[in-house]
Structure 1
Amino acid sequence: MTEQQASGSEVPVQLNQKKRVAFVAHCLVNQNAKVQEFARSRGAVPGVVDRLRSNGYRIQQLPCPEMAFAGVDRWWQGRELYDKANYRRHCRILAMNMAAPIAEFYRRGYEVVVVGLDGSPSSGVRYTGQAKNWGGRPQFDDGDYEVVAGMGVWMEELKSVLESCDIPWPRASGMLLDTTDWDESRDLPGCLDELDEFLRAGGTTAEISDDVIVRLGNSQDA
Structure 2
Amino acid sequence: MERSKKVILSAHCVLNQNTVVEPLARSKGAHKDIVQLIMAKAIGIHQLPCPEFRYLGLGRPPMTKEEYDTPEFRKLCKELASDSIRIVLEYEKSGYDIVGLLGINQSPTCSITGLRGIFMEELLSLLEGEGIILKTFEVPEDYYDGDRGSDFIDHIAGQIE
The structure whose Rg is larger is 1
Match of 2:148 in 1: 187
Instruction: Work out the number of aligned pairs and report it.
Output: 160
**Partners of 2:154 and 2:63 in 1: how far apart?**
29
Give me the TM-score of the superposition, normalised by structure 2.
0.89
Structure 1 residues 45 and 81, CA gap change in structure 2 (3 angstroms): same
Q: Superposition RMSD on alpha carbons, in Å?
A: 2.0
CA distance in 1, matches of 2:89, 2:8: 13
**1:184-212 deviations in whole A, cap 9, x for unaligned?**
55531112222212213xxxxxxxxxxxx
Q: Deviation at 1:44? A: 0.4
Q: Does 1:174 align with 2:138?
A: yes
The equivalent of 2:46 in structure 1 is 60
Q: Decide which structure has greater strand share.
A: 1
In the TM superposition, structure 1's runs of 4+ consecutive aligned residues that sit over 4 Å from their partners are 15-18, 182-186
Paired residues for 1:1-222 under 5 Å: 19-112=5-98, 113-126=100-113, 149-164=114-129, 166-177=130-141, 179=142, 187-200=148-161
Percentage of pairs with the same residue: 29
SS at match of 1:23: strand
Question: Which TM-score applies when normalising by structure 1?
Answer: 0.66
- Structure 1: segments with no counterpart, 5+ residues: 1-14, 127-148, 201-222
